[in-house]
A and B are shown apart, each in its own frame.
Chain A
């Protein structure tokens, strides 16, 4: 059931929540998607208090980097294995007041640093469509629970494509609105200038409804926006007559998977049939090839500082030693996974005084040029679209791609454009490739979530028609 369907049926809310908990346990057995189960008893007892809320009685899951007061929050890192937050993230308060019921904290790549969910302290999350495949990451557990029908909505975070990629792999809607639209206060960060909070849902309308609950200014997050929150659900009509859609040609050109291209073509033809104008638009190839290194540097330079607080002294999984320095050393060595430590080393390398201009600052400059190139497209088009990936979810032990190919650099990393610009971006299912789901990604203009959701709805409608 979708969230909207659930909201129509206000009876047996308690049974629905308990059923979701049961399903969560079953799904976890199969998919390894949960870090911590939350006993919903207390929330069920309080259901009446929030019964007027926009998400009253809806069971949902939270990525394990969302701080929940009194409930263990690990960000899938050993170093936070015993961390019990003393405060709630702002979105947790908002969701609670809307009546949502939290049933699980979901697995993720350690500290959100990854795109596979293979680096979680609790091990890989498996894809509901094929348990030999990954769920994608970093918000893999949330994606898997929504895809498995456990909850209609789960919170994720997205620094490069950490919501939108797993959504593609798991055949669901993955949405990150504009940077600053949803407060980040209380979200364990990866990279502050790229991090976004967003949602996994099964429908675009559920994404719109969720945004109405989550969005809004928070004085605790100075980067959050003062713009009024709109009635996104009402704007999600699927009416695209006269709307202009750009397909990024460079990305399509670098895909050789014919099934994926056929899926995309379906989308394009469907949109055209609904009266949209669809053009293939070229972006600057050199800049697109530079997206990954730009992302990698900015994200990890910021991350190495963001996680310097993980020293075991005030919180976390402290390892005893003879001096405070050794305690920090041991705590961090044993508590942080290889991948996280290696990324911190690279980030720190990029920040050194002698390197900073050449790497971190250069990445920030290229980020500007890339954003300007995106603006060039969006000045003319309402949204731009491209396949979220060239193919479905990879196998758990699949060898790495050629790291210098366009197929890797461009096709598998282009969604970071939405993080560089901060513009709203959504992935919607568009069919199957090699027996696995694949999604199409749409990115729109800043704070025009309503328009983005409207066009995404049209694609969903096209796909539903294909399904019939």
Chain B
């Protein structure tokens, strides 16, 4: 039987603020346990929340990039439950008045661009981190109170590929905004997928299954694909889908049951009495919205229009923001964006992976790479020479100096090259004979001889052309 697949995604994303959502203690990753806290994060009696301005700014940036409307009257609510990682016994969140609502994100699919609706974006605080030992659970409250945004999509996706494309696009967008590290493996971005199947065309939704804590984009796709298969099979066999929370099991590449959902939990949400509604200054909000960093889509379009890059090259650069930012710097010097892109994508990326380094650890500067590219364009050195020079440029050296030190220059002077050619032709009558007999290989040999005589400095293209002309004269 054919089924319609209905997928909605909830993303939790830690914001990259200096301090917590409601306290002035530092946010942290990988610090000594319980050293990035104060009494507020530990939920001590009598403590009260004070809302972090930067977190609100980041939330507004995210809302804007996701085409959402921003509620300038910020309100918070309490979500009540008991758990060891929740210091106050409630989480401060925005249940009733999310800061952002009704937006979308466009993703690329095989069938073209598809618009995925986003229902809401709200601010809240993270919980503590628990470490489970054999008999004990240890709790570290460093993470408690870290600002989060939760972004809830509409159930607009229909396949693992679309789900992965959405998460990937959202991740890229938030990363370009600079509001989050979006490291799924480290948990600064967490992804829960809701998925249900219904007979094709049916208006009635099937039972929803939630897959929690997917820690990579490829796992999002794998988990959804597996889940579609699993649910289809159950329906095909006339079975029923249990309303449950599942997780993706890396080892078996399947989803497995975490817990059954018995009815819905009553979190007894109510407005947080300790935070009066906060009226944001419309000018402040406008200023944030009008000064967003360039988003990936905008940058992609610019690369294609301004630098004439093809969509493949543009995408390769965009998908690696560090490389893309470096490329922009190279382009400030380099006269040709397309050639600069080639160098960044192949030579540079190749060198990085070969050396097992990143751009930030390299001594290479964008200005030097730009200059090197210009030397090729200006025919100062050959492409082959450039690759040799590049090895030293990677070490932070100036390409002009490297080329000079190596005595490299490219001879593009016609008469000088012609002199060499005639010298070589005089020395190799047999090769002229071979050429006349149709052995084209002879040309390559002769070019090689010219290059040798020029100590590699003759412009190879010119040499090739002039040699052909001279051969015909003989």
Closest to B272 in A: A192
Residue among B39, B87, B88 making CB contact with A86, cutoff 8 Å = B39
A353 within 8 A of B: yes
For chain B, the bracket of interface size reads 20 to 34
- Pick the interface stretch among A36-44, A146-154, A303-311: A303-311
Cα–Cα distance between A192 and B49 once the two chains are bound (Å): 12
> Please, which residue of chain A has its CB at the minimum distance from the CB of B80?
A305
Main secondary structure of the interface of B (DSSP, over half): loop
Are the C-beta atoms of A313 and B84 separated by less than 8 Å? yes
Inter-chain CA distance A355–B43, complex, in Å, is 28
Q: Which residues of A contact B42 (CB under 8 A)?
A: 314-315
By beta carbon, the residue of chain B nearest A195 is B273
- Interface: B440 (CB within 8 A): no
Contact (Cβ within 8 A) A187 B46: yes
Using known A-B contacts A186-B46, A188-B45, A309-B87, determine if residue A223 contacts B270 with beta carbons closer than 8 Å.
no
Pairwise interchain contact A222-B82, C-beta atoms closer than 8 A: no
Q: Does A17 contact B (CB under 8 A)?
A: no
Give chain A residues whose Cβ lies under 8 Å from the Cβ of B137.
Answer: 324
Q: Contacting B44 at CB < 8 Å: which of A87, A184, A191, A221?
A: A87
Asked whether, in the complex, the Cβ of A311 is within 8 Å of the Cβ of B46, the reply is no
Nearest Cβ in chain B — how far from A352, in angstroms? 6
Is B424 part of the binding interface, using a Cβ–Cβ cutoff of 8 Å?
A: no
Q: Is A309 touching B45 in the complex (CB atoms < 8 A)?
A: yes
Asked whether any CB of chain B lies closer than 8 Å to the CB of A356, the reply is: yes
CB proximity of B88 to chain A, nearest CB, Å? 5
- Docked Cα-Cα span, A246 to B166, in Å, equals 65
CB contact between A222 and one of B46, B48, B84, B89 (< 8 Å): that residue: B48
Residue A80 lies at the interface, judged by CB distance under 8 Å to chain B: yes
Say whether A219 contacts B50, CB under 8 Å: yes
Interface check B300, CB cutoff 8 A? no
- For B276, the chain A residues whose CB sits under 8 A away are 222-223
With both chains docked as a complex, state the minimum distance between the C-beta of B63 and any C-beta of chain A, in angstroms.
Answer: 22
Option from A73, A86, A185, A193 in Cβ contact (under 8 Å) with B48: A185
In this complex, the member of A86, A313, A314, A324 whose beta carbon has the largest number of chain B beta carbons within 10 angstroms is A314
Point out the residues of chain B lying under 8 angstroms from A348, CB to CB.
268
Which residues from 66 to 85 on chain B have a C-beta closer than 8 Å to any C-beta of chain A?
Answer: 78, 80, 82, 84
Provide the bound-state CA to CA distance between A185 and B39, in Å. Answer: 11
Instruction: Report the bound CA distance from A313 to B141 in whole Å.
Output: 12
A337 close to B (CB within 8 Å): no
Q: Give the complex CA separation of A364 and B353 in angstroms.
A: 63
* A301 located at the interface, meaning its Cβ lies under 8 Å from any Cβ of chain B in the complex: yes
Supposing A85-B44, A193-B273, A301-B270 touch, asked if A351 and B50 sit within 8 A by C-beta, the answer is no
Is B139 part of the binding interface, using a Cβ–Cβ cutoff of 8 Å?
A: yes
Known: A308-B80, A309-B87, A352-B268. A222 touches B274 (CB 8 A): yes
Query: Given that A309-B89, A356-B268 are contacting pairs, would A302 and B273 also be in contact in the complex, using a CB cutoff of 8 Å?
Result: yes
Mask of B356-395 contacts with A, CB within 8 angstroms, 1/0:
0000000000000000000000000000000000000000
Instruction: Give residues of chain A (200-240) contacting chain B, Cβ–Cβ below 8 Å.
Output: 219-223
Measured CB to CB, the residues of A under 8 A from B are 65, 67, 73, 75, 80, 83, 85-87, 89, 184-189, 191-193, 219-223, 301-302, 304-305, 307-311, 313-315, 324, 328, 348, 351-353, 356, 360
Known A67-B44, A223-B276, A301-B270; further 18 A-B contacts with Cβ < 8 A: A67-B45, A67-B46, A87-B39, A184-B46, A185-B46, A186-B46, A189-B45, A193-B273, A220-B50, A222-B275, A222-B276, A302-B270, A302-B273, A305-B78, A305-B89, A308-B80, A314-B44, A315-B44
